[in-house]
Amino acid sequence: MNKYPLWKNLLIITVVLLGLYYAAPNLYPPDPAVQISSQSPEVVIGERDIKRAERALEQGGVDYKSVEIGDENLIVRLPDAETQLEARRVLQSKFLGEYVLALNLVPTTPDWLAQFGGKPMKLGLDLSGGVHFLLEVDTQSLVKARLETMEQDAKTLFRENDFKAADWSVRNEEDGLRFTFNSPELMSEGLALLRGEMNWFEERPETPRTDSRVKLYLTDAKVKELEDYAVSQNLTALRSRINSLGVAEPIVQRQGRNRIVLQLPGIQDTTKAKEIIGQTANLQFHLAARQSTLKSQIRRFPMKQNPNDMVELERRVILEGDCVEQAFPSYDQDSQPVTVLHLSSTCGRKMHRATAKNVGRNMGIVLVETKLLTREVEVDGETVIEEYPVEEKSVISYANIRSALGSQFQIEGLSQQEANRLSVLLRAGALAAPIFFVEERTVGPSLGADNIQKGMMSVQIGFALVVLFMLVYYRVFGIAAVTALLVNLVVLVACMSILGATLTLPGIAGIVLTVGMAVDANVLIFSRVKEELKNGLSPQMAISAGYDRAIVTILDANITTLLVAIILYAVGTGPIQGFAITLFIGILTSMFTAIMLTRSLVNAIYGGRNVKSLSI
């Protein structure tokens, strides 16, 4: 009696061995590193860059572990985080222009573990150090820009339908469009035309129409659609920009209606992160104005290099920066820095049509940037500093169209730094709307290491107390429970590593809770065995009855906790999700070890023998 079949024992042994294998990579902590990447596909990382980096580090007196070529980049491994910062400072002076330097954590998992997918758990911001940003998307600016576009669309619509210019007018009032007509009949006809072609406007009671005037607002549904688009596009662009920083496992997620949470583990250079993340850069291509161009269709822009020089361009935009599929810095025939652009095929055809008809005419490329300025304002009688956005437009290229352009061309007249920065921003995609930094928190690497130490200490103390109680109170059965508890921790870590889950401080709290819950199941089983012995059952019968009758209670309790973990993960964010993942996995592993593994160990000790008493 109390003998497991061979397949069950083999299953348990297989799970334990796999757990040991996939948990083992966590014994190899990652190395702090400086990652050097090329910004241009024309620049390939090679052996010369290894020697260049080694020479720079030796001249700067920086200790390093190794310099090696990774996935299309150069990895400089350092002994600690302080040396990592010093190494980046030294290397920046040698790798300027066509390279991007980023701080990173590089795994040290041996090949014999990595070849079958073994990898360590990812560490969250609170354990690895880094920076936390709370960003707010300025959706109002997008609504304002869309109203400007709709104003032009309305004018085009009326002209195409033979409305005389003297009979109507439209004015953009930032929160809506005000239309004025010469007669009620003309207003009815104009509104019918607008509703047929542009049905996202509505009237509001606070601004009632007159016989000749009406103000139209964007519908709430249209505003929400624009807001969702802005946040979604900004999330995509931010993820691309963060990739250019070389951040390992960033967290980029929406919070509420117009906010974005951004966590960058391992990043210490917050100034560079904010510069890349927060800048809104877009391009607009305009043809130069002619003498015959109407004044209402002309706009003057300052030159980027010399703001005192002004150029006149047509208001009509040929293309915008969202047409750019690739952008990288390079050099022209005269070794001057340029930014090479690759357009989508559709936009390339549009550019070809526009330039083929205007060979010999100048074209201006306008850089649109939104910057944050500060000002003092009075709030409840106190002077506070307020940030406000300012949109700046300047011409970065004003050149003659010598031949029809296609899907690839270059922007000239830039400095090396401007060419690099413009390439990164355009490659990542333009932000649909400006973003503001609402909150910023920095977790230093030393604090992250301290968090790990305290978290591990809590697990060790909790584990030691549980072990002491089980050995004293349940004796031989306690040994089985402790063994199962050790295996439970190993399998839990292995599962989190396989799934790529991120370990945070709340996750460590989940592990501590799992330790207690794993023993709780054994307490139920062992108490039931003791009860059956008191009722007069033989030791073998008591073991069998104890496990069989306690399992229903254990399943009920754990299934309800599993449901709670699922709900926490579904409705929670960040730390709550980290706790929920650890709790969910820990419940599954503890049920396996507390029921199957301890039963297997108890069977190995007492099964199939004529036992007179149990050490419990």
DSSP characters over 39-62:
SSTT----HHHHHHHHHHHHHTT-
In which band, very low, low, confident or very high, does the pLDDT at 504 lie, cut at 50, 70 and 90?
confident
Per-residue pLDDT tens over the stretch 535-557: 888 888 888 888 888 888 888 88
Host H or E run for residue 170? strand 168-172
- The region of weakest confidence among 114-123, 232-241, 312-321, 400-409 is 232-241
Per-residue pLDDT tens over the stretch 262-298: 888 766 556 566 666 766 567 788 999 988 888 888 8
Quick one: how far is CA 218 from the chain centroid?
31
Architecture label for domain 280-427: 2-Layer Sandwich (3.30)
- For 452-469, give one letter per residue: b (16+ CB within 10 A) or e: beebeebbeebbeebbee
What's the pLDDT score for residue 64?
92
In which band, very low, low, confident or very high, does the pLDDT at 310 lie, cut at 50, 70 and 90?
very high
What's the pLDDT score for residue 487?
92
| Most confident stretch, 29-33, 91-95, 376-380 | 29-33
Is pLDDT at 40 greater than 80 in this prediction?
A: no
Is pLDDT at 14 greater than 90 in this prediction?
A: yes
Candidates 119, 87, 120; CA nearest to 102 is: 87
Rg (CA), the chain: 33
- Looking at the DSSP bridge assignments, the partners of residue 178 are 171, 215
Is pLDDT at 245 greater than 60 in this prediction?
A: no
- The region of weakest confidence among 17-26, 46-55, 245-254 is 245-254
Is pLDDT at 39 greater than 70 in this prediction?
A: no
Domain ranges of the chain: 6-25+444-606, 31-106, 140-221, 280-427
Residue 540 corresponds to which tokens in the numbers above?
A: 């073998």
CATH class of 140-221: alpha beta
For the chain, what percent of residues have pLDDT higher than 70?
A: 89
In which band, very low, low, confident or very high, does the pLDDT at 35 lie, cut at 50, 70 and 90?
confident
Residue by residue, what is the 3-state secondary structure of 96-158? CCCEEEEEEEECCCCHHHHCCCCCCCEECHHHHCEEEEEEEECHHHHHHHHHHHHHHHHHHHH
Same fold, 31-106 and 140-221: yes
Per-residue pLDDT tens over the stretch 120-159: 887 777 777 778 888 888 888 778 878 887 887 788 788 8
What CATH number belongs to 6-25+444-606? 1.20.1640.10
In which band, very low, low, confident or very high, does the pLDDT at 461 lie, cut at 50, 70 and 90?
confident
Residue partners of 398: CB distance under 8 A and separation at least 6 = 288, 303, 311, 362, 363, 364, 365, 413
Is pLDDT at 410 greater than 60 in this prediction?
A: yes
- Looking at the DSSP bridge assignments, the partners of residue 111 are none
Is pLDDT at 19 greater than 90 in this prediction?
A: yes
Burial class (CB in 10 A: 0-12, 13-18, 19+), 213: middle
CB 120 within 8 A of CB 135: no
Question: Tokens 């990542």 label which residue?
Answer: 428
- What gap in Å lies between CA 348 and CA 326, rounded to an integer? 13
CATH superfamily of 31-106: ACT domain (3.30.70.260)
